[in-house]
A = this chain, B = another copy of it.
Amino acid sequence: MARPYNFSAGPAAMPVEVLEIAAREMLDWHGTGMGVMEMSHRGKAFGEIAAQAEADLRELLAVPSHFKILFMQGGGLAENAIVPMNLSRGGVVDFVVTGGWSQNSLKEAGRYAQTHLAASNADSRHTTLPAPASWQLSPDAQYVHICSNETIHGVEFQALPDLKALGSDAPLVVDFSSHVASRPVDWSRVGLAFGGAQKNLGPAGLTLVVVREDLLGHALPICPSAFNYKTVADNASMYNTPPTYAIYIAGLTFQWLKRQGGVAAMEARNIAKARLLYDFLDQSPFYENRVAPDCRSRMNVPFFLKDESRNEAFLAGAQARGLLQLKGHKSVGGMRASLYNAIPIEGVQALVDYLRDFEKEMA
C-alpha cells in the first residue's frame, strides 16, 4: 500500500526524503562514526550541521542580517511566557486575539506585563479577522502580539499589519508556528517571530525565534538564563545544550525546501492545495467550512459534516483509505485537515476524492 497521507496539525507529516536521509545517517553521519544524536553540541561536526541549518533558514525566509535566528526549546506555549519576559519591560503589551493561540498568549503574558486587548474576533467565534484599522493600539505598548495563523481555528493573516501605518512604533511580535516557511515573511513589519518546529520545520521540541537585534538585552530579572534571548544569541543557541537532533532534522527539511524551489515555490503549491480543498467544501451541501473566505488558512482547514452523527464513520473510512489524523481540535470539534509543506497536492486530491465518495455513499 502507498504511504498514507497524514493531515495532523502537529507534530505533522514530514517530507519522505527527509525521513529517508535521517534513517540512512542514523548510525554514521558523513563518515564521522557517530550518529547526529551522539555528537557533542560543542564539536566540529554538529557545529557544521547547526551553522548550515541556520544559513539555509536565513536564505529560505530571507531573514535580514539585523535579525538573530535562535534555536530554542519549549514550543510556542513556552514562548507565550518567554516573549514578555524578554520584551515587555513590565509595561503595556497589546494583543490581537484571533483564536485559541493568541487567547492563550494574552493570558500567559499577564504574569509579566499589563496586557491590553487591542482587537478580537471572539464575536464571530474566531471565523473572521478584525481589520487593522479598527485595532485599539496603546500609545505606550512595548509590543503588539498577533498569531499570524491560528492552527485551531483556521484563520490566517494574508498580510502582516503595518503598525507604522497605524501610528504605532511598537515592534510586532508574530506567532507564526503553523505557517512558517509556507509563504514569505515581510520582515520590515516584524520585531520578533517565533514558532514551534513541529508543523512545517521538523520535530517537536525545537522552537524557532527570529528577533531584531535592537530588541535584545531588556529581559526581566526573573527571566531564566536559558530563555534570555540575548544570552541565547550571544552563545549562538548553545548556552544550554540545544535539541541537536531536532535541529539536524529541521536542517534536512530546509535543504529539502531549497530543492523544492524555496518558499515562493511552496507558497504557489500551498495556494493550489488550499484552493482545491476549499472549493470542494464550498460547493458541497454535505460539508462546511465556517471561516470567512478572506482569512482562511492555507495550512489548517477546519470543516464539519453538516450531519455530525456521521463523524465516526467519516474518520473510520478516511483511515481505511490512508487519510490519517483528520479529527478536529477538541475545542472546535468536527474535522481538520492540515496541509503543511510536506503534504503534496496528490494528498489533497486523495482527500477531496474521499470527501466526494463519502458524501455520495451517505446520500
Binding site for B on A (CB under 8 A): 1, 3-4, 6, 8-14, 16, 19-20, 22-24, 26-28, 32-35, 37-41, 43, 73-78, 80-82, 108, 111-112, 196, 198, 202-206, 221-222, 224-227, 239-246, 249, 322, 324-325
Contact = CB atoms under 8 A, between A and B. Distances in A.
Contacts of A27: 3, 16, 19-20, 23
Most chain B CB atoms below 10 A, which of A4, A204, A322 = A204
Majority SS at the chain A contact face: loop
Given A3-B27, A245-B246, A324 B78 contact: no
B22 A40 contact: no
B74 A40 contact: no
A9 B324 CA distance: 40
Number of copies: 2
A6 B38 contact: yes
B240 A74 contact: yes
Given A81-B224, A82-B224, 20 more contacts: A3-B27, A11-B241, A14-B37, A16-B27, A19-B26, A22-B26, A23-B24, A33-B324, A34-B325, A73-B74, A73-B243, A74-B240, A75-B241, A78-B227, A80-B226, A111-B222, A203-B246, A204-B242, A204-B244, A205-B205
Given A73-B74, A222-B222, A34 B19 contact: no
Contacts of A10: 40, 241
A88 B273 CA distance: 52
A162 B23 CA distance: 46
Contacts of A22: 26
Nearest to A1: B33
A244 B203 CA distance: 8
6 contacts: A4-B34, A19-B26, A32-B324, A41-B204, A80-B224, A245-B246
A77 B11 contact: no
Contacts of A41: 11, 204
Nearest to A224: B81
A241 B111 contact: no
A24 to B, nearest CB: 8
A11 B43 CA distance: 10
A205 B230 CA distance: 20
A226 B77 contact: yes
A82 to B, nearest CB: 7
Most chain B CB atoms below 10 A, which of A20, A27, A40, A76 = A40
A8 B38 contact: yes
Contacts of A206: 205
A160 B292 CA distance: 61
